[in-house]
Structure 1
Amino acid sequence: MKSSIRFKLSFMMFLEFFVWGGWFVTLGTFLGSNLSAGDAQISSAFSTQCFGAIISPFIIGLIADRYFNAEKILGVLHLIGAVLMFQMYNSADFAAFYPYLFVYMILYMPTLALVNSVSFNQMSNPEKDFGNIRVWGTLGWIAAGLLISYAFHWDSEASLKEGLMRNTFLMTAIASLALGLFSFVLPKTPPKAVKGEKASVREILGLDALKLLKDRNYLVFFVASVLICVPLAFYYQYANPFLSGIGLENPTGKMTFGQMSEVLFMLLLPVFFTRFGLKKTLVLAMAAWVLRYLCFAYGNAGELSFMLIIGIALHGACYDFFFVTGQIYTDNKAGEKNKSAAQGLITLATYGVGMLVGFYIAGVIAEMYKAQGGDTLEVWKHIWTFPAIIAFIVMALFAIFFKPEKKTVEATNI
């Protein structure tokens, strides 16, 4: 790959995830402090990601794969996204904010597939090259968090009182505008499908991969993947408001430890695959979920702040060891013909249905315990104990019903 193309793809990934990390991490804190949103409203705001994940296959399957170059659609979506972000920056209340967020997430979620499509189209050896390009996305997410906490201090107690957290949307609007314009100089990525060729809804949603559920082991894994998204939703929705609310300094910057650990655990994943195998790696991932939420439940911003840092840093083990391992397992199970369909189905089930249910449950639990009143730390202890229990139950059921695979799952695509 030419160095100029490598730079373009890396910069594209950096901006793609800078845009997402620049507002999504602090969304719950912003809604509570700037727009006085309740837990039900915060849940509905985070749920827009799920609707975006559900609708995304239609945009990719019906438009991007058939009629227009991927880089051009990427550019248009981010230019529109910049306008929507600016409107969110100017919104005075939740009623005005929510419609812009809803439309934005429907347009943003397809871009995650588009940047991959643009990248893969330039690679003769994706297994070797993609990781080196994708890591810049993680660095973009980290950069956004560090800027918010350590450069602009928008998540400090004083800034929250002044309403400065809304500036994250202005920053994201500028980054989205830059990526939108930059997309038009990316390498050309023409449509994959033949014009005029009909695509069924079944193909677009990856429903052809449903036959994988006839495999008992894969069915257990599939159900576990959906259920584990409930505790995942708690983290996305309440980690930043929790850390800010109990007085941890620079919470958004410290949350980037989670992305930093992703890089580390991604490197460790092949080792765990080889040494422990598929089942033990997945069980270890779910055990990390349990430990993470117990750290949140019993930690504090004082002498036990190290527990909060451990909980954040476990994000790499939680995400990489479960979801990346799951993607590899799905790829091996699907067979050549249904690889794309299977990945689409598991994404739809987890980030679509699973997370949608998770955000709703997280909102109900938080609202219930906050309504009871009492000490702030005690309230959060009850809230974080709930996803710890769910993760433990999912882990136990998975360990019981998932049988060791006769054929070792290869980790060569990591």
Structure 2
Amino acid sequence: MFLEFFIWGAWFVTLGTFLSRNLGTTGFQTSLAFLTQSIGAIIAPFVIGLIADKFFSAQRILGVLHLAGAILLWIASSSTTFDGLFPVIVVYMILYMPTLALVNSISFRQMKDPSREFSSIRVLGTIGWIIAGLIIGWLGWEQANQLALTFKMASVASLILGLFSFTLPSTPPVKKGEKTSISEILGLDALRLLTHRSYLLFFLSSIAICIPLQFYYTFANQFFNEAGMKAAAGVQSLGQVSETLFMLLIPVFFIRLGVKKMLAIGMLAWVLRYVLFAYGDAGANYWMLITGIALHGICYDFFFVTGQIYTDNLAGEKFKSAAQGLVTLATYGVGMMIGAFVSGPIVDAYTIAGGHDWKTIWLIPAGIALLVTILFLLLFRDSQQNGKVIQQA
């Protein structure tokens, strides 16, 4: 988990700044670069359903994907044009995004009670992301315009994880040797979760909330640098510190609040975060920027981690990998893909002399997130039928 998210945080956080400064991209081109994660996320469920649930052990697939990813990240570090970089990260993300579901699947398969145990393992991923950001800030790569080195750092970490993966606990395919249909081989049986009304609403809400979320992932680092924040990538790691704290508290909140309240709180946190960014600056209102960053723990944990646990509870034993891929499809796939096409043109539309009208830009995703939250609260109903949805469908 540490290495999995160290790799991602090592280059992805500062990608927008790298593109605008080094390659002179527009907002739309920057959003296209972040769109690559959505392409990978949409393909991920099919990769997991075809390979991890049927033919090969998950830890071996994880190793192969990260070894290939190490090569691609190193190539990306030498790119000098957007046209040269884009196809490389497209292929990389097609390989990387399935690994998010794989590490979850490997973890869940070793646990007796994932709702209690998973957060203590997943928190190591958050720490990995924090360390990556602190290293970038400490070495001053943003100020020195040396962000190409972030790709090399991620490449080395990917090589290490690729080799280390082959030593992980054996996680053999649960359906090996069974006669299965094409839909099962491709992981499409996980779609049966959508016949469960509450899960369908969760799935649609996941897509909708990720539209405003993409504004943060694509443009936050660029915004902080334009605002004059020093060592922005390092400061942004405060969000992962917050994430670490709330990750450890997830079991307590999960029992006391339940799925609906946790998901809703996570959505509302995004609304507040964007409002703070809209009115914050590097001067007297610097505290607003810091508070907005620190809200990341609630924003991420209460929605994404809760959603992963909720999915694992409902999926049943035989379809856990494919079901986690389905979550990836909804969030990092469809939702953020739509968000990429929405955010880029909006940022370009509010380009002004010397930068952007960030106040207006941030209030737009705040409004979208608020609307999604209201609809979710009105419509979502959860019936606790752990592990029975696919089997009964």
What TM-score results when the alignment is normalised by the length of structure 1?
A: 0.85
Extract unaligned runs of 5+ from structure 1.
1-12, 410-414
Partner of residue 4, structure 1: none
CA contact (8 A) 1:212 1:219 kept: yes
Partner of residue 201, structure 1: 183
What are the residue-to-residue correspondences of 1:185-264 with 2, within 5 Å? 185-195=167-177, 197-201=179-183, 204-210=186-192, 212-213=194-195, 215=197, 217-264=198-245
What are the residue-to-residue correspondences of 1:22-37 with 2, within 5 Å? 22-37=10-25
Distance 1:344 1:303 in 2: 44
What are the residue-to-residue correspondences of 1:236-385 with 2, within 5 Å? 236-332=217-313, 342-370=323-351, 373-374=352-353, 376=355, 379-385=357-363
Number of matched pairs: 387
Post-superposition shift, 1:261? 1.0
Which secondary structure does the structure 1 equivalent of 2:147 belong to?
A: helix
Aligned counterpart in structure 2 of residue 174 of structure 1, from 139, 143, 156:
156
Which secondary structure does the structure 2 equivalent of 1:92 belong to?
A: coil
- The structure-2 alpha-carbon separation of the partners of 1:294 and 1:73, relative to structure 1 and needing over 3 Å to count, comes to same
Percent identity, aligned pairs only? Answer: 55
Aligned counterpart in structure 2 of residue 147 of structure 1, from 127, 132, 135:
135
What are the residue-to-residue correspondences of 1:38-53 with 2, within 5 Å? 38-53=26-41
Distance 2:165 2:317 in 1: 31
Q: Which sits farther off after the overlay, 217-226 or 290-299?
A: 217-226
| Larger Rg, first or second structure (1 or 2) | 1
String of CA shifts for 1:337-370, please: whole Å, max 9, x gaps: 7665544433312221111001110111111111
Which secondary structure does the structure 1 equivalent of 2:174 belong to?
A: coil
Partner of residue 56, structure 2: 68
String of CA shifts for 1:102-140, please: whole Å, max 9, x gaps: 110111112223333444455556555543332221111
CA RMSD of aligned residues (A): 2.7
Post-superposition shift, 1:399? 2.5
Distance 2:270 2:221 in 1: 17
Post-superposition shift, 1:269? 3.6
Which secondary structure does the structure 1 equivalent of 2:358 belong to?
A: helix
- The structure-2 alpha-carbon separation of the partners of 1:101 and 1:288, relative to structure 1 and needing over 3 Å to count, comes to same
Distance 1:279 1:288 in 2: 14
String of CA shifts for 1:241-285, please: whole Å, max 9, x gaps: 110111101110111111111122223444444554443333322
- The structure-2 alpha-carbon separation of the partners of 1:192 and 1:87, relative to structure 1 and needing over 3 Å to count, comes to same
String of CA shifts for 1:167-193, please: whole Å, max 9, x gaps: 101111111122222333334443433
Extract unaligned runs of 5+ from structure 2.
387-393
Q: Which sits farther off after the overlay, 187-196 or 353-362?
A: 187-196
- The structure-2 alpha-carbon separation of the partners of 1:25 and 1:388, relative to structure 1 and needing over 3 Å to count, comes to same
Post-superposition shift, 1:325? 2.7
Partner of residue 95, structure 2: 107
CA contact (8 A) 2:101 2:324 kept: no
Give the letter for the 2:168 counterpart.
L
CA contact (8 A) 1:258 1:316 kept: yes
Q: Which structure is higher in RCO with an 8 Å CA cutoff and minimum separation 6?
A: 2
Distance 2:40 2:121 in 1: 24
What TM-score results when the alignment is normalised by the length of structure 2?
A: 0.89
Give the letter for the 1:18 counterpart.
F
